[in-house]
Amino acid sequence: MKLIIAVVNDKDAIPLMEDLVESNFQVTKLASTGGFLREGNTTLLIGLEDEAVEQVREILRKNCKSRRKTVTPVAPVGNTMDVSMSYPTEVMVGGATVFVVKVEKWEKI
């Protein structure tokens, strides 16, 4: 048994969850916030049998695409950096960060 923890862009979450449910995977959605851009993202918890891991990874690849975004960096709280020193920067967003964890025991109560 495995647990996939997937952190995905909010824009990718709904179509991804629809594909997972359509493929008979149960998904738990958690709202989360990224540290670098301080923007919302979605963390999905997916419990599955070992042999289904690659199928879920394919669904993730299909739905979670990287894209470029222009952002203005935000200074950390308490930083005295002059606001005029923040210039728009192009960064890559999206895609997915995926952890596959072995589950020792699973129980539904």
Q: How far apart are CA 48 and CA 26, in angstroms?
A: 8
pLDDT tens digits for range 57-69: 999 999 998 777 6
Q: What pLDDT is attached to residue 25? A: 97
Give 31's strand partners. 42
Query: In the CATH hierarchy, which top-level class contains the domain 2-76+84-102?
Result: alpha beta
What's the whole-number mean pLDDT along residues 84-89?
67
pTM: 0.76
Query: Of all residues in the chain, what percent carry a pLDDT higher than 90?
Result: 54
Q: How far apart are CA 6 and CA 30, in angstroms?
A: 10
* Nearest C-alpha neighbor of 69 from the set 95, 50, 47, 44: 95
